[in-house]
Amino acid sequence: MKNNFNTIITSDQPVLVDFYADWCGPCKMLAPILKEVKKELKDTVKIIKIDVDKNQPLAAKYQVRGVPTMILFKNGKQVWRQSGVLQKNDIINIINSKQ
């Protein structure tokens, strides 16, 4: 996963990474919100989900202490991060401001 992850986040396109866990209630609330974000922004953003329990080294590398944590990457650089659930319009505004 690690090599693949680095390839994904180094694209010109913004990449929103959702660090989540299956047992996390707020993560379950965020999932449909992210689907709506993707539906609205289409190919202007890539959204990937990373299960912190299955990818502990990756979660540790990015110092994910709580879930859900969203990190936005552009050209491999972290340009924004937030823990917790945000509403669709807030996420869209953040992604658009980092384009």
Q: Which residue in 24, 48, 79, 92 is the catalytic one?
A: 24
Burial (CB count <10 Å: 0-12, 13-18, 19+), residue 22: exposed
Q: Is residue 30 annotated as a catalytic residue, yes or no?
A: no
* Nearest-10 crossing angle of helices 25-41, 88-97: 60
Q: Which residue in 9, 21, 27, 30 is the catalytic one?
A: 27
Which strand ranges, in their side-by-side order, compose the sheet holding 69-74?
Answer: 46-51, 15-20, 69-74, 77-83
Q: Is residue 42 annotated as a catalytic residue, yes or no?
A: no
**Is residue 9 a contact partner of residue 45, using CB atoms and an 8 Å limit?**
no
- Looking at the annotation, which residues are catalytic? 24, 27
